[in-house]
Amino acid sequence: MGEIELKTAPADFRFPTTNQSRHCFTRYIEFHRCVAAKGDEATECEKFAKYYRSLCPGEWVDRWNEQRENGIFPGPL
């Protein structure tokens, strides 16, 4: 296999600092808000999913998914 396309979450002007914790969290919320607004099958939400998966550690995402299932997610959805 040769060259593969490299693509990731872009730098976000809302999060210009070294600390990117909020960047990851915000992208996660944006995705779920997008899905809530446009439905599960909406393709325009997919980019937010890509962004948060690029930025957030898998462990964090797992924990948040669990919290959402139990209805105890701390963020505004």
Partner 1 sequence: MSFTGIFHFFTNSPCDAAEPWQLGSQDAATPMMQGIIDLHHDIFFFLILILVFVSRILVRALWHFHSKKNPIPQRIVHGTTIEILRTIFPSIIPMFIAIPSFALLYSMDEVVVDPAMTIKAIGHQWYRSYEYSDYNSSDEQSLTFDSYTIPEDDPELGQSRLLEVDNRVVVPAKTHLRIIVTSADVPHSWAVPSSGVKCDAVPGRLNQISISVQREGVYYGQCSEICGTNHASIVVEAVSRKDYGSRVSNQLIPQTGEA
Binding flag, residue 20, partner 1 (CB under 8 A): yes
In whole angstroms, give the CA distance from residue 27 to residue 32. 9
Q: Of 63, 65, 67, 75, which lies in the binding site for partner 1, with binding defined by CB under 8 A?
A: 65
Q: Indicate the Cα dihedral angle 16, 58, 65, 50, nearest 10°.
A: 60
Residue 22 CB, nearest approach to partner 1 (Å): 9
Binding site for partner 1 (CB under 8 A): 1-4, 6-11, 16-21, 23-24, 50, 53-59, 61-62, 65
